[in-house]
A and B are shown apart, each in its own frame.
Chain A
Amino acid sequence: DVKVTQSSRYLVKRTGEKVFLECVQDMDHENMFWYRQDPGLGLRLIYFSYDVKMKEKGDIPEGYSVSREKKERFSLILESASTNQTSMYLCASSPIQPLFRRVHQPQHFGDGTRLSIL
């Protein structure tokens, strides 16, 4: 089974701190994703990466950055944490998803990190 591991289940930080959320997957997936999940808003994509050292902005990248130095590890960085970044953060991975081919691997999710910024 695919295993996506997020380093912390719960994290409490103060405003202005630099925060690192780590995610590791063990299935050699090319794609990795960071989402935040807020009530009534579903999952919103922050950043994703389709290869080592490659990153692309998602829908809400402001206030975040990412790092992918190794294929199995994708880090989300809050440069200067603010209270509106209090949320559940979910990491996911998947193999390449070519359109119009019968490849249908779903994303595999980690257990999430509930981050509170005080």
Chain B
Amino acid sequence: ELKVEQNPLFLSMQEGKNYTIYCNYSTTSDRLYWYRQDPGKSLESLFVLLSNGAVKQEGRLMASLDTKARLSTLHITAAVHDLSATYFCAVVGLSNTGNQFYFGTGTSLTVIP
């Protein structure tokens, strides 16, 4: 079974600072997703990473993928309060019943003014 681990689970950071969230997964996959979830809301897709070395950027968020290390990072640059949310990574893996999404535990980010 594919395992997906995120760290940290909780992150409190000051506005203007930089930080990185890590997502490790245990077996081969050819795609990785990052989602954002605001309190009381559903998950919203942020990035899809499809190949080794892929990098996607949207505003103050940048995601990268290293398939050899089975690692993805979500880098936050000059954090602002609006980025406060829970961030999930998810990997598509092959199970005995076909393709399945495997989610990390999530990183709850709080940006403090």
A residues near B, CB below 8 A? Answer: 4, 33, 35, 40-45, 48, 50, 56, 58-59, 90, 92, 94, 96-100, 102, 104, 106-112
Contacts and interface: CB of A to CB of B under 8 A. Distances in A.
A100 B88 CA distance: 23
A27 to B, nearest CB: 14
Interface in B31-52: 31, 33, 35, 41-45, 48, 50
A99 B92 contact: yes
Interface in B19-33: 30-31, 33
Interface of B: 1, 6, 9, 30-31, 33, 35, 41-45, 48, 50, 88, 90, 92, 94, 97-101, 103-106
B56 to A, nearest CB: 11
B50 A104 contact: yes
B42 A109 contact: yes
Contacts of A90: 42-43
| Minimum-distance CB pairs A-B, first 8 | A42-B105, A106-B45, A43-B103, A109-B42, A56-B97, A97-B99, A109-B43, A104-B48
